[in-house]
Structure 1
């Protein structure tokens, strides 16, 4: 059966009473294409079979698969109704670590995520690591190559999953990507593990791939490979000084470890520019570097923000002409047209800005400095507007209360004036002596 035929759609016609995330029937079986791992997932507004296709020589089992699906289920639960049910035991260490993982994620996204109640049984005994070998996540990007370069003697295999950054339907992009990955594996002498999966279709219902779910997804693949590897390396996107929330993070990734698998967040001690400098001297990277996520049909589109940022750094280092997967030149206009959409892209543009200053490239420096200044100015203006709006929201009830008080005072004043007028009118009608006699009579004098 072809992989595209296995891409079952996730039903959105669930009964309204479905509240919990339920993961049932975790299975590992051989098929014509290798090892097929699957589970039935039911969750609010969706259901279907989640699957992962792995090479035929993959050594995995149902315990490893249960741990992998537990991580996926936890993300789904905190991103929906807050209950996770599984019919298969899970690593006790992974269950214990999951509370800290939840706390971190809910601290980052308090309005989006909820605390999950786990209806999951811990395994009576976790297996020890079966092997001390290391597998590293590898997409062909700067972070992936940097981790490979710095840990080349320790890394035994590279793993890439189709269906994460490249949709399963894009075979036109998949085929050249696979060819490049195989050539990198051949050049480095590393085992290449290529798989495919539809789990992102479920995870997209819990939150955004870059900011919430991708670190958990990568970790789940590591657990499926824990019959062969005791360590999974996840290349860092940012540095330790970049404290903003991200789906793969030095605070978070190690919490996806079990007794069988150690998950390592690698490379957060270097900026993207520092990594690019190292990668620029690596022969395999010059032939196969891939940073683009646009899936235009080209290996690198050369015009998206990620491509341009990478090309700027390579140009500043003087190495861009040697990279066969990019054009040999980049214009200053391309830098001027970069988009800064948030703290993620801002951090990378700032790194390139500092590199341009170091290299004395005043044109690139001016272009990037304008982008950073403009973004920060707009952000301050937006924050100021938000503060004004917040202040207006707090003041509005006070203004309404003050208006009611003013209305009450005005009514009281009106009544007092009316009473005074009535008293004066009565005084004119009766002389003061008559009022005195009436008063004395009323009081028995």
Structure 2
């Protein structure tokens, strides 16, 4: 492949630098074009130096030797030759050589510091670091490179540019917008993540006469060799004499960068990470959006979905196809996500296991009903295990429940005193009963919950009834949040729900006891009789045959007679102790 000396032309608004390309192969090559604002023409480097790294990357991707006509800075020429050799070795296309017909000594360095800026996590964190840096290190220019690869990109890039300009104006920095056609030569050969460093730097160096430093931020700390476009071994080969290229944020991991930007309201409110949603904004469903929302949740953002068009959703995460590029992130995603987002943590783990053909492992809570008066089972399990082992993952050799051999789900040790106080004041509550239960199960309305509430109202008088669930939107969260449900339970002496079979529902039992409320599971006569026979004597009365609902004693004294021993039984252990013991029994 041969690259002609760059030709420069202007249309009054933009300066176009066009490098003609020819190849001994059959395919005709379009020229490599870079467009810079006409207002920046005084900063223009008219030599072949800026394009050397981009041309070397194209040659390596094609597996084709390169000759660069025109003058190239000696350092940039050596870097281009080494870059082509490195990339072609990594990519298995080599060996590829680069010949530069004329080398020169670069002009005097400029004075500016340019930062490649996309409003993503990495570039924002670097900008925050360098905004108040000493003279010579402080960012003076935000550099934004456009690519315009698909129809409609123009409108999207216009909208993105408006966001970049608002940030630049807010911070008193100059925004320089350039564009390149490099991706038209490269995207069908390699992933963008493999290419972005040389392409961005090679484009920005066209304004190298005004810059002494270009700051490129990769997706990892400087000691991580990921063989991507910001790998330290790539970055050291970029730049020219008088204009160095350095890695931004070299000491921070991805998670630390996310935490960093949470300290800046401007950074958080203008965050732009979406790369697949085909939009200016954040779709909330692509890999980058879901990864960033998870990182924000891990960093303690109270609303990690703010600025995204969709909430952080475990099902969306679970459906992601995860490739090897995600390997550096998985330790944090699987190990650091807080218990509040345990369903999301599990979803990342599931997606990674599926990508590697790992069989699913039993876990507590995967098939339990969601929590209504507090955390669901996955969050409770993760909280308890992290308190004892520091990890959210443990074996699940037996199911949760109260039958012999099952693992009990008890209140956390930190709540025991509160629970005892609530149990003691149960007789003072105004309502005899409450039915608070999802009435959509397995995609259909479960009429038993409604029938139970009506039966209770007929026999025992009015009581709170809340039956959330929409058949057409089964994952829609309840309108009433946990605080409201807690208030209903604390106004009621007993909480009842229907189950056709199975064990005493572990989550509903612990939710009721935690609010000082008597849990009663109503069942058909046969299953109720069989289950009660298996349970501890203090728990057996919590199983009620449906025919016995009319004769239940829900008076203050009648409830206390059943509640006190049941509460004592649950408080004889703790979530922290019993889940750990159950996992490693």
- With the shorter chain as reference, the TM-score category is 0.7 to 0.9
Does the 8 Å contact 2:72/2:100 carry over to 1?
Answer: no
Structure 1 SS opposite 2:255 = helix
Q: 1:193 aligns to what SS in structure 2?
A: strand
Aligned partner of 2:143 among 159, 166, 172: 159
Q: Show structure 2 runs of 5+ residues with no match.
A: 133-137, 360-585
- Cα deviation, residue 283, structure 1: 1.7
C-alpha change, 1:140 and 1:62, in structure 2 (3 Å) is: closer
Structure-2 residue corresponding to 1:370: 350
Residue in structure 2 matching 1:239, options 213, 221, 234: 221
Deviation of 1:340 (Å): 1.4
For 2:119, the equivalent position in structure 1 comes to: 140
Partner Cα separation in structure 1 for residue 97 and residue 42 of structure 2: 28
Deviation, 1:228, is 1.1
Structure number having the greater helix percentage: 1
Q: Is the 8 A contact 1:79 1:113 kept in 2?
A: no
Give structure 1 stretches of 5+ with no counterpart: 1-20, 380-445
2:182 to 199, 214, 221: 199
Secondary structure of 2:6's counterpart equals strand
Q: Does 1:122 align with 2:106?
A: no
Query: Contact between 1:52 and 1:195, CA under 8 Å: does it hold in 2?
Result: yes
SS, match of residue 66 in structure 1: coil
Once superposed, which parts of structure 1, at least 4 consecutive aligned residues long, lie more than 6 Å away? none
Deviation at 1:360, TM superposition (A): 6.5
Assess if the C-alpha contact under 8 Å between 2:63 and 2:93 holds in 1. no
Change (3 A) 1:215 1:104: same
Deviations 1:243-291 (A, max 9, x none): 3311221111121121131011222422211111111221222221111
- The match for 2:160 among 162, 166, 177 is 177
**C-alpha contact (below 8 Å) 1:90/1:122 kept by paired residues:** yes
Conserved 8 A contact 1:79-1:207: yes
Deviation at 1:322, TM superposition (A): 7.2
Residues 69-106 of structure 1 deviation map (CA, whole Å, 9 limit, x = unaligned): 22222122233353222331101111222343234323
Q: Is the 8 A contact 1:288 1:324 kept in 2?
A: no
Shift of 1:173: 1.3
Q: State the alpha-carbon separation in 1 of the partners of residues 150 and 123 from structure 2.
A: 20
Cα distance in 2 between the residues matched to 1:294 and 1:127: 40
CA-to-aligned-CA distance 1:109-163 (integer Å, 9 cap, x gap):
2x2233214142212x22231x232000011111111111111131001111111
8 Å contact 1:59–1:227 — kept in the other structure?
no
Q: What displacement does 1:59 show?
A: 3.8
Cα distance in 2, alignment partners of residues 122 and 219 from structure 1: 19
Give the drift of 1:62: 7.1
Q: Distance in 2 between matches of 1:63 and 1:225?
A: 6
Contact 2:313 2:344 in 1 (8 A): no
* Residue 193 of structure 2 is aligned to residue 210 of structure 1: yes
Please say if 1:290 is aligned against 2:272.
yes
Is the deviation greater in 252-261 or in 366-375?
A: 366-375
Q: SS of the residue aligned with 2:144? A: strand
Q: Structure 1 65/288 Cα, relative in aligned 2: closer, same or farther at 3 Å? A: farther
Q: Give the one of 249, 254, 258 matched to 2:240.
A: 258
Structure 1: distance between partners of 2:355 and 2:305: 31
Q: Distance in 2 between matches of 1:218 and 1:97?
A: 15
**Aligned CA distance change for structure 1 residues 246 and 46 (closer, same or farther; 3 Å):** same
Deviations 1:338-397 (A, max 9, x none): 33111x22322332223215x674333333333344445559xxxxxxxxxxxxxxxxxx
- Match for 1:40 among 12, 20, 27? 20
**Over aligned residue pairs, what C-alpha RMSD do you find?**
2.6
Number of equivalences: 352
CA distance in structure 2 between the partners assigned to 1:293 and 1:263 by the alignment: 25
Q: For the residues of structure 1 that align with 2:4 and 2:302, how far apart are their CA atoms?
A: 50
Please say if residues 64 and 223 of structure 1, whose CA atoms lie closer than 8 Å, have aligned partners that are also in contact.
Answer: no
TM-score normalised per structure 2 = 0.56
Aligned-partner Cα distance in 1 for 2:212–2:79:
18
Instruction: Answer whether contact 2:146 2:179 (CA < 8 A) is retained.
Output: yes
Q: Deviations over 1:7-30 (max 9, x none)?
A: xxxxxxxxxxxxxx1211412333
DSSP 3-state at the match of 2:119: coil
Match of 2:84 among 102, 111, 114: 102
Corresponding residue SS for 2:86? helix
Cα separation, partners in 2 of 1:295 and 1:175, compared to 1, 3 Å:
farther
Pick closer, same or farther for the CA change 1:167–1:237 going to 2, 3 Å.
farther
String of CA shifts for 1:215-238, please: whole Å, max 9, x gaps.
111111231121111110111112
Q: Deviations over 1:201-225 (max 9, x none)?
A: 12335533222x2211111123112
Q: Structure 1 length normalisation: TM-score?
A: 0.72
- Does 53-62 or 148-157 show the bigger shift? 53-62
Work out the CA distance in 2 between the residues paired with 1:266 and 1:301: 27
**Counterpart secondary structure, 2:7:** strand
CA distance in 2, matches of 1:227, 1:169: 33
Hey, what's the Cα distance between the residues in 2 that align with 1:315 and 1:222?
34
Which of 52, 55, 62 lines up with 1:70 in the alignment? 52
Deviation, 1:63, is 4.7
Structure 2 residue 14 is the aligned partner of structure 1 residue 31: no
- The 5 Å alignment of 1:373-392 reads 373-376=353-356
